[in-house]
Structure 1
């Protein structure tokens, strides 16, 4: 991650795999400029300018939270015109924002004294992890475990590009942990973003509680915050799911995360994520407060809590932030805890789209518009 002010941050940390495309898209017509109810003209122009290069059938579902009050804005590109639609209850893959929820499950178990944040993950499983060094739960959640981005027995060159994780089951993850695991550096000393680490965290929390990952999400988070359209199991929300798009505008298959569900498997809506966001503003919520607290300094502009990245803004304020990207979707979520402001963007823009960085750019630009001038 390069050291730069977040207003110009274009690096996406939450993309599950990387790729490129030669797809070209013509510039769209602005059909939202005269329908700005609920948003300012400035916000309308930001939305259009950051979405005009995406293909037809692209949707963005946006929650704008100002002083703890939520407005929803949806747009869709149809026949080369970007128009307002109502899609705040439509479901999208949220990709790596899932990691915040996995870290929240960890925080719940820490608060309930089921495990210790600095506990060695080896001490909580009945098989031998092939490591001399100990990895803690905190190091899995804040990307300082020393683990690589992906396991060595998941070869993306041989996997199905349209659904690369679907065959990576618990047996393969256990095989990796017991026979192949290797660290790139000593745990706890360096930040290195790892989908594998978050996947192992979700896997181990399910083992410790003897409860499937999906059931943990429902019991500990989704039911608690009334997130009725959120799940890690696609069959639960199939009828409400917005189709993901490849860079060329064709439909992209959804991804199945198997044993690495904790890294990116969740589906959700702007409405549901806004409920989770509002809960983040309650400093009496010790479970969420623990995830927001800094655990490691990455550089002068960024720290990391548990799941959340903590960004230093040009105006001196802080944001907690995460984004996500999969084959058919890109997302971004940033919250100003002090002022109870936030932006959530869900989209069916592929992480392989050469302009996918515009989703993060739009997120940061929109939150700037919420600042008290």
Structure 2
């Protein structure tokens, strides 16, 4: 039973780490020791919280890829180190990158109000800015807090449902804001990134998915990365994903690999690989995608 309770925590963990260093290349023995330590940490993740896990580390010593656990419960199939998986809120970093590219191009401004781009969508939107949506200080309520969560039956019933951003934003704004004054407090909000996805569409005439494809996925050749929209599937190779459900009153792990990702939209629908995420983050931090000063402008305290 101990193992089952661990499985219920999460399904598959994946990590991508970029390390920049000017240090000399380590000796073979040191390198081997370092990689064994990485594998031990990956094994620990599986031991306490996951069915399977994968990781990719790129540093001055080269590229290391590792996995632990299994790709599917009830089998001994290894987690594919180049496998695809749902990246969740890492999607927000892609959306934020597109927004900052548009700021750099003069198509929108960090201090533009939400009301100026999305009239009458958010109460108080005339005092809420693009910058505040980016850095989670807008005060707009997080729609995820209004949704049924696992292991309840209501969550399972929504598995294949297609949600629109308008529906999800409406759920959020039916609740009071998290602070009386936009910009006053940090409060994580998935709703803010749904709104940013809509602002991207207003500014460009294209969906945020198209803009991510044209501006990031294509130029960086991220062959394992996609914005699936309403498609429930993850292309192979990929591990299976599990969530706890209670069909008979007792929580058990259920295969939840296929589901309609429109529930998360611009806040978390994307699919990728550790390789692609490393390539993306490296390009973001080295100035390939946006000027470094824009990261400070968008995310530092104002």
TM-score (norm 2): 0.72
What is the total number of aligned residue pairs between the two structures? 265
Displacement of 1:60: 1.6
Alignment partner of 2:5: what SS?
A: coil
Displacement of 1:109: 0.7
Displacement of 1:275: 0.8
| RMSD, matched Cα | 3.8
Q: 1:208 to 1:172 in 2, by over 3 A?
A: same
- State the alpha-carbon separation in 1 of the partners of residues 174 and 72 from structure 2: 50
- State the alpha-carbon separation in 1 of the partners of residues 218 and 192 from structure 2: 26
Q: 1:190 to 1:268 in 2, by over 3 A?
A: same
After TM superposition, the runs of 4+ consecutive aligned structure 1 residues lying more than 6 A away are: 78-84
Alignment partner of 2:219: what SS?
A: coil
TM-score (norm 1): 0.60
Q: Does 1:24 align with 2:10?
A: no
**Structure with max Cα Rg:** 2
Q: Does 1:63 align with 2:67?
A: no
Alignment match, 1:250: 254
In structure 1, the gaps of 5 or more residues are 1-20, 27-35, 298-304, 306-373
Q: Does 1:117 align with 2:121?
A: no
Residues 175-212 of structure 1 deviation map (CA, whole Å, 9 limit, x = unaligned): 558x7364221111110011111222112212332212
Alignment match, 2:142: 149
After superposition, residues 137-216 of structure 1 pair within 5 angstroms as 137-150=130-143, 154-156=146-148, 160-162=154-156, 163=158, 166-173=161-168, 175=170, 180=174, 182-185=176-179, 186-216=181-211
The 8 Å contact of residues 73 and 88 in structure 1, kept in 2 or not, is answered as yes
Q: 1:171 to 1:144 in 2, by over 3 A?
A: closer
After superposition, residues 78-97 of structure 1 pair within 5 angstroms as 85=78, 87-97=80-90
In structure 2, the gaps of 5 or more residues are 8-30, 245-251
| Correspondence for 2:290 among 281, 286, 303 | 286
Displacement of 1:38: 9.4
- State the alpha-carbon separation in 2 of the partners of residues 45 and 231 from structure 1: 31
